[in-house]
Amino acid sequence: MEPVRTCVGCRARASRSALIRVAAQNGELVFDERAVLPGRGAWLHPTVECLQAALRRRAFARALRVPATYGFPQASDVRNVERHSPRNKG
């Protein structure tokens, strides 16, 4: 059975393979495509809607236990979040 995680944007539960991991690294939040960066991780559906909901709720700061001043995301990251989807990996 595959591990289940909760999306910090919509709060729905999904399998780990359906979500992408976000981690804090060098004062910024980054997509951890391979899910190997050290430290805490926050899981997110690869949709702009879930990303915007997580940002609006300040869910990354809470989930990762980092200051809300950590930079994330750039406008280009918001528009391209779906390209990070595990389903789009070949």
The pTM score is 0.81
90 residues of the chain, pLDDT tens digit each? 899 999 999 999 999 999 999 999 888 888 888 899 999 999 999 888 998 899 899 999 999 999 877 776 554 565 566 666 655 554
Residue 59 located in a structural domain = yes
Residue 13 located in a structural domain = yes
Residue 20 located in a structural domain = yes
Residue 65 located in a structural domain = yes
Distance CA 2, CA 34 (A): 16
Strand order, beta sheet including 20-25: 28-32, 20-25, 41-44
Q: Which tokens go with 23?
A: 């981690």
CATH label of the domain that carries residue 13:
3.30.1230.10
Residue 88 located in a structural domain = no
